[in-house]
Structure 1
């Protein structure tokens, strides 16, 4: 992929702002249908550990060679370094299991702003009744011990990543999530891969308009209902992450320009 092609597929400032607000980006139109079919067939044929799928399936690696996918990963972390992956399989009518508990994947992270990316990919249609991953938008900057939130059941504003074949979601490693019961007769396959950055995650996307009112409105209007009285505090956390991503210590997307007014 040439430099011009790479820029063509980079995330826009608005897309990146939405990622900072929600903690994930959802797409259902990037993977060719024929490639989804090949991946699904190989998922069904896997006999060994789900950890081996990345190495045994040329098709799944081909998904991550698509220019659209490479452009998104480039925007989020530069040259993404493969960390680990797993093929999650939930059999039909499986309504049990520890996996249905809310959790956070990184119990310990010393980085103030940097983040890993986890990618959730469904090669087949994944309607709500099949139990695709449940996420809590906006929870990614709330650091907790991994299963402290396992006692929760439903949280206002939660979203299920239901979609058609080829649905792929790029997730901040701190986003709260859980699997769901599969009420259908078909097995559910979800491939999950984690990447880590090899550099400072600043100005890696198309930064045009990063300080526009349109982008600021994404932050100001992006409050989730579950935040309650913590809404403004969360916007400040997101605004600081935005400064890191755009490498500009003066840009301010907080209500009442709080970062500017309270800077020393």
Structure 2
């Protein structure tokens, strides 16, 4: 497929972007129409390849899935204007039931960086309960260094999140997030399409901006409660804030001072801006839709 770009309005807010930085994934449930889900399933039955690239030549699929408003609005928020559309397609198609045959891993080519230059996206064209073996992701693990041979043997991890979802759901992930296949106990076929979008422009804070947002009020702490054991206590908010700053276009301005300085101070509600990098207030004033 020839490379094409696409633009649309962003849909994520500052808080949404921070949440993606924290969790490393976003699930959009039931955003693809039922008739498209059915048509996709029929197409994949006729083309059972694990790399059904030809589906990208189908206009109905491109319009409803690849250019899906909810999905591309989120992708546009994270990757900026004129996103590069997927040029290949993978299908994690399985015959159920099956035992787990793929341990925890990061996909090939994953790197550790605050940059966000591409996103890996998944689409379920059928209802996918636990019985059909949905992908499991480990929230915040895109900040954890770990090669496949060192992590694939791990079993259940307490904070793992199953991507169970109704038909027509799309989930967007950071490419470096830990994930794994799960066992399927039901009968039948489960399709899971996987594809990537790419950045074509430098980062800037041009998503849905609230001009009243203060960097001291944003919660950069991953997890539902303080002390999320997935990341190191006290340090877990630092890579989140660094990624958010990069996405704001404040490249090179982030540097953690150390001790209980920002962003640790912000997550604890302490009234001090010691260590707050410059630029956020200036960027806030100049944001196009502030």
> TM-score category by the smaller chain?
0.7 to 0.9
CA distance in 1, matches of 2:130, 2:175: 23
| CA deviations over 1:195-244 (Å, ceiling 9, x no partner) | 2211223224112258347961363765574326x032221011111111
Asked if structure 2 preserves the Cα contact closer than 8 Å seen for 1:102 and 1:176, the reply is yes
**TM-superposed deviation, 1:102:** 0.5
The match for 2:200 is 198
**TM-superposed deviation, 1:69:** 2.4
Gaps of 5+ in 2: 1-6, 256-260, 278-290
The match for 1:143 is 145
The match for 2:119 is 117
1:122-201 to structure 2, matched below 5 A, reads 122-201=124-203
**TM-superposed deviation, 1:86:** 0.2
The match for 2:263 is 254
CA distance in 2, matches of 1:215, 1:221: 17
The match for 2:37 is 36
Counterpart of 1:227 in 2: which secondary structure?
coil
Instruction: Choose which of 89, 101, 114 in structure 1 pairs with 2:93.
Output: 89
Counterpart of 2:15 in 1: which secondary structure?
helix
CA shift in 2, pair 1:133/1:57, >3 Å: farther
CA shift in 2, pair 1:108/1:128, >3 Å: closer
**TM-superposed deviation, 1:31:** 1.3
| CA deviations over 1:63-118 (Å, ceiling 9, x no partner) | 11233222222111122223543011010112142xx2100114453754234201
**TM-superposed deviation, 1:139:** 0.7
The match for 1:20 is 21
Higher helix share: 1
| CA deviations over 1:231-261 (Å, ceiling 9, x no partner) | 3222101111111112354899622159953
The match for 2:283 is none
**TM-superposed deviation, 1:16:** 1.1
| CA deviations over 1:117-159 (Å, ceiling 9, x no partner) | 0111101000011111000011112233244210111111101
Tell me which moved more, 206-215 or 156-165.
206-215
| CA deviations over 1:15-61 (Å, ceiling 9, x no partner) | 11110110011111321121111111111221444242443544432
Asked if structure 2 preserves the Cα contact closer than 8 Å seen for 1:122 and 1:190, the reply is yes
Tell me which moved more, 129-138 or 107-116.
107-116
Gaps of 5+ in 1: none
Q: Which has the higher contact order (CA 8 A, sep 6+)?
A: 1
Tell me which moved more, 126-135 or 246-255.
246-255
Greater C-alpha radius of gyration? 2
TM-score, reference length from structure 1: 0.84
